[in-house]
Amino acid sequence: MDNHDPDCVQCRETMDFLKHSPELAAAVKAGKLAVLAVYTEGYGEIWRLYKDSLPPGWISATDDAVVKTKLLYDLKAMPTLYLLDSAHRVVLKDASPAAVLQAVAGLS
């Protein structure tokens, strides 16, 4: 899961890094990994403009503050990357893009 804001420079850099990873793309295509990008800032029009720029197979979602108000995830800063296993248990929390890609490399 990625919490991101298209207007955030660091978010764009992180997304570009992940979007251009052949290992990530291969894991998604093989069905070994699902990527969920959640926009939590509540401005639906920004999310609508941005959602189609994500790679094929990625899931793009917006949230009306439920993630923040129910404290489902710890969103210290944006972007926030989580890696969950198939049972939806947190494997990596607030991870770097490199750490996520290293874990993805272990899926093959």
Q: Domains of the chain by range and CATH? A: 2-105 (3.40.30.10)
Q: For 1-108, list the strands marked E by DSSP.
A: 2-3, 36-39, 59-62, 80-84, 90-93
Q: How far apart are CA 99 and CA 51, in angstroms?
A: 24
Q: What is the mean pLDDT of each run of 10 residues along the chain (108 residues)?
A: 66 90 92 88 78 88 74 75 88 91 84
Going by C-alpha positions, the residue among 31, 6, 26, 35 that lies closest to residue 97 is: 35
The alpha carbon dihedral of 95, 101, 104, 105 has a sign of negative
Q: Would you state the pLDDT for residue 97?
A: 93
Q: What pLDDT is attached to residue 22?
A: 93
Contacts 24+ apart (CB under 8 A), 89-94: none
* pLDDT for the residue numbered 3: 55
